[in-house]
Structure 1
Amino acid sequence: MSVYGVQGEDRSDYTKEESKQIRARSRRLLGSLLRPHIGRVVVTMILVVIAVAANIAGPMIIAFGIDHGLPAIMQQADWLPLWGATIVYVLAAIVGGVLMFVYTVSVARISQTVLFDLRRRLFDHAQRLSLEFHESYTSGRIIARQTSDLESIRDLLDQGLNELVRGILFMGFTAVAMLILDPLSGLIVFVALIPAVLLTRWFQVRSTKLFRETRTTSARMIVHFVETMTGIRAVKAFRKEPANQREFDQRVDDYRDANFRTINIFGIYEPGIMSIGAITLATLILVGGLRVVDGTLEIGALLGIALYARNFFQPIQGIGMFFNGYQAASAALEKISGVLEEEPTVREPTQPKSLPASRGQIDFDEVEFSYGADKTVLPDFDLHIPSGQTIALVGTTGAGKSTLAKLISRFYDPTEGAVKLDGVDLRELANDDLRRAVVMVTQEAYLFAGTVADNIALGRPGASAEEIEMAARAVGAHEFIEALPDGYDTDVAKRGGRVSLGQRQLLSFARAFLADPRVLILDEATASLDIPSERLVQEGLTTLLADRTAIIIAHRLSTVAIADRVLVMEHGRIIEDGSPDELIALGGKFASLHRAWRESLV
């Protein structure tokens, strides 16, 4: 597991050791991203050094032209020094411009390649993480990792690092050039750097805290927005709009206040740097002018120094702005590295056993399962389900029925004991073999963007149109599909918005039928159907469940009637086991549930 864990990502009370581990983890991730491009990075750095040096040479060339070229013309009628300075100046400008263009393009290519790799890595890893992670990690946070956090890293790679590298090189070469032209002027600039560095340090410390606060309030605002829009049906059903609006307004206010505090320090920093630069330039011109008068400084050197001094402090502002991008990208990289360091709790075996043709026999051998240290759902559970048998699981909410289904599907692994398919521990099976052998249909019946045919074909990619239609006919979905505007080519729109809840469930049945698993699990799969649709599906279920092992979890006992065997669960244990007729005759828990269901139909 990562240092963060899925719950502690936004904490601010890390110990020094935890913070050190987090930074080391981020550096490892960044190193792994840049390592394949190290050669291009080195070449790019060489290019920018040459480009900046060529641009910095301009004022020195101008100073040479004035101090040596003009006297040569006036005294000796020799135009060569001036023409030479002019040609060198033009060539330096061309070389600097071309190399800076190549550098900028190269940096952009490196950053886009790194971001492409990181996006793919994050998406791939998030898909491989176990269901436990996704049930703990909110959707808004995982969306933020793929959007705003990656954008922060992109801004740093595309702009921030560019500003930093160019700024440092520009200031370094400028300082050297000024020392060459006039050591005293260089000393004045170095003295002026002291307050500039102190102001920049103050800005860095303050901005680190304020930018983190801005990012935190922004993330909270985005998460609230995403979760509200994702659960908009529940929001409207329970009339939560006013409460949600008040909470969102508060989070927007927090974000606005954090931004105002950030703007305030910029209002101090940027004018401060500009003032230092202006005072330094005035001092250089005053001191340099007096020295020109007494003949200790050439006029061309003074002009070159003034040109250098005018632009010397500008990169400091860019370097100060770099801290903004750096802090945002650093925090984003920490969060992304935290997700990438999460390990699946359900792992594919390194040397899986093959299962070419499953029979569908399921065994629970002394299984114990807990969602947490103090939440044991299945204590010492044993169960044998022969191949081809249809099992119905009934019981009150929280009895452990869905947990049983998740263990068979290997969404989770048991804490103790083993769940076996045809005598093979599920932890020893390859995921591909397990997914072909076991399919679960849930109440959610999620449909992806695309056509009706595309969604049915998820059960078996590459299935023909005839096979898709046959699956739809088998579960009673063909008639309503044909009535859609474009039949099987109808786009279901976002999350199946063009079809009803019951129709989505029928499509999920068709998908499962096409997959043709040996073990089929129906977890409240008929709960969304109305009575006529349920009766139609009952006929389809007879076809769907034939010649395969089936586990049906249902509160509607009409679905249970087609089961060969009913298991009544209570607190993670089986309290009754038998055929529906046997349990009704027994007069126990199932009989009372069945009686209550019959009375509800009257």
Structure 2
Amino acid sequence: MSATVLPVADGGQIRRYLRTLLPGRRLLLAGTILVMLGVSLLNLAIPATIGWITQAVVDRRHPSALTIPIALLTAAVVAGAICTYFARLLLARLVFPAVGSLREDALSHAVDLPIDVVEAGDSGDVISRVSGDAERVTDAASEVLGYFVTSALAIVAALIGLAAIDWRFAVAGLLAVPIQAHTLRWYLRRSRPIYAAGRAADGRRASALLTGFTALPTLRALGLTGRQRGRIESASKESMGYELAAMQTMTRFWGRLNLAEFVGLAAILLAGFFLVRSGTTSVGAATAAALFFAGLFGPINGVLATFDTLQQAAAGVARLVGVTTVPRHETAFETGTDQVVEVSDLTFGYADGPAVLDDVTLRVGPGEKVAVVGTTGSGKSSLASLVTGLRTPRAGSIVWGRPVVERSAALVTQETHVFAGTIADNLRLGRPDATHEQIAQAMVAVGADHWVRTLPDGLDARVGGGGRPLTAVQAQHLALARVHLMDPALVVLDEANAEAGSDTSRQLDRAFAAVVRGRAAVVIAHRLNQAADADRILVMESGRVVEQGNHAELIVAGGRYAELWHAWSAG
């Protein structure tokens, strides 16, 4: 079972966050409540006028005596319908922007989470929060919240109406309250942990499914599909178990509410019988009282029933707000340095594991190309992710200069992803305002224009999921063209290319040269010919820089770089 490292917000954090949504909406909130209160008061006229009509029939009055109560009943129904429409409209204008802000804020934080947090935790948990939890909150806001508020106001208005007829009717109706209160307390105590655990289980199920689909080729190659299927089934059964537990709890909840309705209505009818028999009240008043209480069935059950959805939405809000409490990752920078980036006394390790970088120092000036070489596991790729600000060091500092602050830094890693959309869409991720001509020029710069011209739709050809599959070289061309279009001040290339001398190698080497030309660059060299023309070379061993200099100097020195070069050249 995966540990979830993303926090779940507590009540105080949720209240503080919701208060940030109120400014500018207080007047709209007050107007919405007033219109909802008007709906509830108009609903009081319906049982009152029916009681009036009933008493007129019992007293055998002239039919003309029914004109006024029927007119009032009609007016109350029409006015209530109009007020209900405006109440829903105002509520939508109040709630939807607030929910949208929460959803966008959570998604923004999720996208901006430090990569260490994402890798250390459960990717399915992140996905379930910004998808499933957000959907539950949106559904509750659009369908349940307004009903909850109007039902609560209707209950208060109906109790006032009962007391206005005769305080003894109100007392009789209140006999149902202890049963309802106990039922609600029992339900909240039992359902809250079920829903919270169920949402976490949904995250684990999403993670198992995500792993199963994204790693399917590897799982098949290693014969692990059966094991992964078992993980998915186990996670699905766990999630389904919580759904069943929630359904059983809800069924018992409704059964107890039906008992409360029976007790309350029986008490009202008995009170009406004795009050009418003693002449204390009229048949019309007793009828109105019974209708008032019967009219409470819907609102009371509605309020209590919406707790089910509100419980789920509350769990979703806690998980969404929890994402926003994770500090955004920010890389330190200064504007006074004359270097593009300065790394000083850097120490880094993954999670609680041993350090993979120790006391590393690196400075890259404008237009300078620095190559980093070393054997597998020496810490080259970890340094690349730190230089671009994707990870946070344990100790030391990473300082960006003014060029990076103004124009950003870009990292091309060993894994490239082709996004679903057109080729132009993929490139505009790096520069949304890029014109068609600028995109075409970027493809020419990295040498990708020849294969793009062979496509029927050219730059408008759809690639990625559901589109045209691209080769590894074509995917690399897209990634490099995107960086070229971004025009960053610093480029970090961590790319394991094809073997030296192959057509693929020569194509990508020319593309790399185009991308780093005129820019500061850190090249994680998996082939040593990538380092030979660098202005400076850093040689790493076991997370430390053991040598540095240019190619000629390091060959003459006869140290570790010279050994690697001679072994690579002989190979």
1:220 paired with 2:193, answer: no
Report the Cα distance in structure 2 between the residues aligned to 1:460 and 1:267, rounded to whole angstroms.
54
Query: CA distance change for structure 1 residues 251 and 288 in 2, over 3 Å: closer, same or farther?
Result: same
**Which residue is 2:103 aligned to?**
119
Matching residue within 455, 467, 484 for 1:513? 484
- The answer on 1:39 being equivalent to 2:27 is yes
- The question of 1:149 aligning with 2:133 is answered yes
Taking the aligned partners of 2:35 and 2:438, their CA distance within structure 1 comes to: 60
Structure 1 position 486 matched with structure 2 position 457: yes
**1:431-446 aligned within 5 A:** 432-435=405-408, 438-446=409-417
Give the aligned residue type for 1:449. Answer: A
In the alignment, the residues of structure 1 paired with residue 444 and residue 353 of structure 2 have an alpha-carbon distance, to the nearest angstrom, of 47
CA contact (8 A) 1:6 1:133 kept: no
Q: Report matched runs for 1:472-483 at 5 Å.
A: 472-483=443-454
1:40 positional shift: 0.9
Deviation of residue 153 (structure 1)? 1.9
In 1, are the aligned partners of 2:195 and 2:315 still within 8 Å (CA)?
Answer: no
1:536 maps to what in 2?
A: 507
Counterparts in 2 of 1:383 and 1:207: CA distance versus 1, 3 Å: closer
* 2:244 alignment counterpart: 260
Amino acid at match of 1:409: T
After superposing the two structures, state which structure 1 stretch, 503-512 or 410-419, moved more: 410-419
Residue identity in the other structure for 1:142: V
- Local SS of the residue matching 1:494: coil
What's the CA shift for 1:8? 5.3
| In structure 1, distance between residues paired with 2:498 and 2:569 | 17
- 1:85 maps to 2:86: no
Written as runs of structure 1 = structure 2, the 5 A alignment for 1:290-439 is 291-293=275-277, 295-347=279-331, 353=335, 363-369=342-348, 375-385=354-364, 387-412=366-391, 416-419=395-398, 425-426=399-400, 429=402, 432-435=405-408, 438-439=409-410
Asked if residue 183 in structure 1 is aligned to residue 183 in structure 2, the reply is: no
SS in 2 for 1:324: helix
Tell me which amino acid in the other structure corresponds to 1:571: S
Asked if the contact 1:377–1:572 (Cα under 8 Å) also holds between the matched residues in 2, the reply is yes
Encode CA deviations 1:66-117: one digit per residue, 9 max, x unaligned: 335764x74xx583x4322111111111111211121122212222111222
1:202 pairs with 186, 192, 195, which one?
186
Q: Per-residue CA shift, 1:51-75, capped at 9, x if unaligned?
A: 111112211122223335764x74x
Which residue of 34, 37, 56 corresponds with 1:49?
37
Say which SS state the counterpart of residue 239 (structure 1) adopts.
coil
1:365 CA drift (Å): 4.3
Q: For residues 249-296 of structure 1, what are the alpha-carbon distances to aligned partners after superposition, in whole Å with 9 as ceiling and x for unaligned?
A: 112212222222222222222122223323433443355345545544
Structure 1 Cα separation of the partners of residues 361 and 268 of structure 2? 89
Residue 471 (1) aligns with residue 442 (2): yes
1:370–1:377 CA contact under 8 A, matched in 2: yes
Shift, 1:584, TM fit: 5.0
Q: Is the 8 A contact 2:6 2:326 kept in 1?
A: no
For the residues of structure 1 that align with 2:519 and 2:177, how far apart are their CA atoms? 80
Output the aligned Cα RMSD.
3.3
Matching of residues 58-97 of structure 1 within 5 Å: 58-68=46-56, 71=59, 74=61, 79=64, 81-97=65-81
Q: Does residue 557 of structure 1 match 2:528?
A: yes
Task: For 1:347 and 1:186, locate their aligned partners in 2 and report how far apart those are by CA, in whole Å.
Answer: 64
| AA of the residue aligned to 1:573 | R
Sequence identity (%): 27
CA-CA distance at 1:213 after TM superposition: 3.0
**TM-score, normalising length: structure 1:** 0.84
Report if the CA contact (8 A) 1:519-1:549 is conserved. yes
Residue identity opposite 2:492 in structure 1: I
Deviation of residue 27 (structure 1)? 0.5
The 1:452/1:94 distance shift into structure 2, 3 A limit, reads same
> Cα gap change, 1:56/1:229 in structure 2, threshold over 3 Å: closer, same or farther?
farther
Over 3 Å counting, the alpha-carbon distance change for 1:240 and 1:485 in structure 2 is farther
Give the stretch that moved more between structures: 465-474 or 297-306: 465-474
Deviation of 1:26 after TM superposition, in Å, equals 0.6
- Structure 1 6/463 Cα, relative in aligned 2: closer, same or farther at 3 Å? same
Aligned CA distance change for structure 1 residues 337 and 479 (closer, same or farther; 3 Å): same
Deviates more, 1:329-338 or 1:230-239: 230-239
State the 1:173 CA deviation: 1.8
Find the residue that maps to 2:22 and give its secondary structure: helix
Counterpart CA distance in 2 for 1:434 and 1:163 is: 50
2:413–2:494 contact (8 Å) kept in structure 1: yes
| Residues 501 and 529, structure 1, Cα contact 8 Å, conserved in 2 | no
Stretches of 4+ moved more than 6 A in 1? none
Separation (CA, whole Å) in 1 of partners of 2:354 and 2:550? 31
Instruction: Provide the C-alpha distance between the structure 2 equivalents of 1:468 and 1:412, rounded to a whole number of angstroms.
Output: 30
* 1:168 and 2:140 matched: no
2:143 maps to a residue whose letter is: Q
Counterpart secondary structure, 2:40: helix
How many pairs align?
A: 569
**Unpaired runs of at least 5, structure 2:** none
**C-alpha contact 2:172 2:271 (8 A) present in aligned 1:** no
Q: Secondary structure at the match of 1:59?
A: helix
Letter in 2 for 1:334: A
Amino acid at match of 2:505: E
Contact 1:523–1:554 (8 Å) recurs in 2: yes
Partner of 1:9: 7
Q: How far, CA to CA, are the matches of 1:112 and 1:528 in structure 2?
A: 55
Q: Which residue of 2 aligns with 1:26?
A: 14
Q: Distance in 1 between matches of 2:320 and 2:232?
A: 25
Contact 1:132/1:345, CA 8 A, preserved across alignment? no
Q: Deviations over 1:496-523 (max 9, x none)?
A: 8621122111222223334444543211
Deviates more, 1:410-419 or 1:134-143: 410-419
Question: 2:387 is matched by which residue type in structure 1?
Answer: I
How far is 1:493 from its partner? 2.8
The 3 A distance-change label for structure 1 pair 89 and 467 is closer
Instruction: Give, in whole Å, the separation in 2 of the partners of 1:372 and 1:441.
Output: 23
Matched with 1:17 is none
The structural deviation recorded for 1:46 is 0.8
Structure 1: gaps spanning 5 or more residues: 11-20, 420-424
**Partner Cα separation in structure 1 for residue 344 and residue 137 of structure 2:** 49
Shift of 1:462: 4.2
Partner residue in 2 for 1:16: none
CA distance, structure 2, for counterparts of residue 127 and residue 141 of structure 1 = 13
1:380-404 per-residue CA deviation (whole Å, 9 max, x = no partner) reads 3334555544332111233222233
Q: Distance in 2 between matches of 1:544 and 1:169?
A: 65
Q: Is the 8 A contact 1:274 1:313 kept in 2?
A: no
- For residue 361 of structure 1, report the CA deviation from its aligned partner: 5.9
Give the letter for the 2:37 counterpart: V
Letter in 2 for 1:234: T
* TM-fit CA distance, 1:492: 1.9
Report the Cα offset of residue 373 of structure 1.
7.0
Worse-superposed segment, 384-393 or 182-191? 384-393
Higher mean Cα deviation, 205-214 or 111-120?
205-214
Deviations 1:95-154, CA, capped at 9 Å, x for gaps: 112111211222122221112222222233344444444444543222222211222222
State the SS of the aligned residue for 2:169: helix
Indicate if the aligned counterparts of 2:418 and 2:475 stay in contact, CA closer than 8 A: yes
Distance in 2 (CA, whole Å) between partners of 1:105 and 1:371 is: 51
Q: Quick one: distance in 1 between partners of 2:501 and 2:171? A: 86
State the 1:228 CA deviation: 3.0
Instruction: Tell me whether 1:102 sits opposite 2:98 in the alignment.
Output: no
Greater shift after overlay, 447-456 or 58-67? 447-456
- 1:417 Cα deviation from its structure 2 partner: 4.8
